[in-house]
């Protein structure tokens, strides 16, 4: 049985008043309960896309549906389901932590619930700071306050726009724990990031965006398989200065000042070419002492994709 997506974008595009085309007709469906990572370089259009869904930026075209509610016509129902942690640290400096969390809950139409707010602040290690003015908090703490505000009305969908920008390792780990707990409660999470490891570690699906275009959307594992190149490093006994001509049929390069031969191959291909390469090395009397293979990270995939697109565009 096909499940209705909790959020869907159909042909959503944005041209800013400056004439800048920040988003090209994006089609995207987010499933309930998943963690979706939107990955892209600076200026790709991630914040623009999120802002449109949340009602902060008017779309130039397209429709957005949140759990069956049109985000424009039925905006109250749609927005009540969404919490947003913005990229910028925009907070009311003169407010206290607990006052701002209570404010957000009410603003989103929910009756006060001190028990919930208390638990939320405790989960975010903000309870001890509840009566502090926000301006007296550190940057990482301010980000937690923003998360508390976004979660104060118990949203079904949480947007995190670069949640770990300017956040230290321990807070980042806390953040992942929190996201894990939210997912257990069934909260759908959409996050943007430049940090590939983040998407790689947490996301179920990844969307790659560049120049306002959603280049591809796929299961993270499928994406890794589909595009994942593998590398094998062959540690040589004797360093080389050039790759011998007899090895030209393999895609080899010298790294580590000639101490290693690097072979790049497609792990999904039927023939990886590894056995024949090793045989050939034996034939040529090239001694090696170690072999090491590695998966390419999402980062490599991403760089590949972006440059592929750019080449395609240049070819047009």
Partner 1 sequence: MNLHGIWAIYRFEMARALRTLWQSVATPVITTSLYFVVFGGAIGSRMQQVGGVNYGSFIVPGLIMLTLLTQSISNASIGIYFPKFTGTIYELLSAPISSMEMVIGYVGAAATKSVALGLIILATSTLFVPLQIAHPLAMIAFLILTALTFSLFGFIIGVWAQGFEQLSIVPALLVTPLTFLGGAFYSIDMLPQPWRTVSLFNPVVYLVSGFRWSFFSKGDVSVAWSLGFIALFMALCLILIAWIFKSGYRLKS
- 90's contact among Mg ion, partner 1, ligand ATP, none, with CB below 5 to 8 A by partner kind, is partner 1
The secondary structure of residue 96, as a DSSP letter, is B
Q: Cβ 97 to partner 1, closest distance in Å?
A: 14
- Judged by CB under 6 A, the residue of 39, 46, 155, 302 near ligand ATP is 46
Q: Please tell me the distance from the alpha carbon of residue 64 to that of residue 59, in angstroms, as a whole number.
A: 9
Tell whether residue 43 is a contact of partner 1 (CB under 8 A): no
State phi, psi for 71 to the nearest 5 degrees.
-70, -15
With CB under 6 A as the contact rule, which of the stretches 16-24, 90-98, 183-191, 301-309 interacts with ligand ATP?
A: 16-24
Within 91-187, where are the H helices? 97-107, 114-123, 139-151, 169-184
Q: Does 21 bind partner 1 (CB under 8 A)?
A: no
By CB under 8 A, residue 106 contacts partner 1: yes
Cα separations in angstroms, 89 against 62, 161, 249, 261: 29, 11, 53, 47
Q: Which is nearer to partner 1, 101 or 182 (CB)?
A: 101
User: Binding segment for Mg ion among 3-11, 65-73, 81-89, 270-278 (CB under 5 A)?
Assistant: 81-89
Nearer to Mg ion, 22 or 298 (CB): 22
End-to-end CA distance of the chain: 41
Please state, in angstroms and rounded to a whole number, the distance separating the CA atoms of residues 75 and 93: 29
Edge-to-edge order in the sheet of strand 21-30: 21-30, 7-15, 61-66, 69-70
Tokens read off for 23: 């988003």
Positions 93 through 112 that interact with ligand ATP (CB under 6 A)? none
Residues that bind Mg ion (CB under 5 A): 46-47, 87
Residues that bind ligand ATP (CB under 6 A): 16, 18, 20, 22, 40, 42-48, 87
């Amino acid at each position: 049985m096909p499940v209705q997506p909790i959020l869907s974008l159909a042909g959503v595009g944005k041209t800013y008043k400056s004439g800048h085309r920040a988003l090209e007709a994006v089609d995207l469906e987010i499933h309930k309960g998943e963690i979706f990572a939107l990955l892209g370089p600076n200026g790709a259009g991630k914040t623009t896309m999120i802002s449109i869904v949340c009602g902060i930026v008017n779309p130039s075209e397209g429709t957005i549906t949140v759990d069956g509610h049109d985000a424009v016509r039925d905006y109250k129902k749609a927005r009540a389901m969404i919490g947003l942690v913005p990229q910028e640290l925009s907070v009311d400096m003169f407010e206290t932590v607990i006052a701002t969390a209570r404010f957000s809950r009410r603003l989103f139409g929910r009756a006060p619930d001190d028990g919930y707010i208390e638990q939320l602040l405790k989960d975010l290690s903000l309870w001890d700071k509840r009566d502090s003015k926000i301006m007296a908090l550190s940057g990482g703490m301010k980000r937690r306050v923003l998360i508390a505000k976004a979660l104060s009305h118990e949203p079904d969908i949480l947007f995190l726009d670069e949640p770990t920008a300017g956040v230290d390792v321990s807070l980042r780990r806390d953040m992942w724990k929190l996201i894990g707990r939210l997912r257990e409660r069934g909260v759908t999470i959409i996050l943007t990031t430049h940090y590939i490891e983040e998407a790689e570690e947490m996301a179920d699906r990844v969307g790659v965006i560049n120049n306002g275009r959603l280049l591809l959307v796929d299961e993270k594992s499928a994406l890794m398989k589909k595009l994942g190149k593998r590398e094998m490093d062959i540690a040589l006994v004797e360093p080389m200065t050039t790759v011998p001509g007899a090895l030209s049929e393999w895609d080899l390069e010298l790294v580590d000042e000639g101490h290693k031969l690097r072979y790049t191959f497609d792990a999904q291909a039927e023939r990886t070419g590894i056995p024949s390469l090793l045989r050939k090395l034996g034939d040529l009397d090239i001694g090696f002492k170690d072999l090491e293979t590695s998966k390419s990270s999402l980062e490599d995939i991403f760089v590949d994709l972006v440059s592929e697109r750019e080449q395609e565009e240049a070819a047009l």
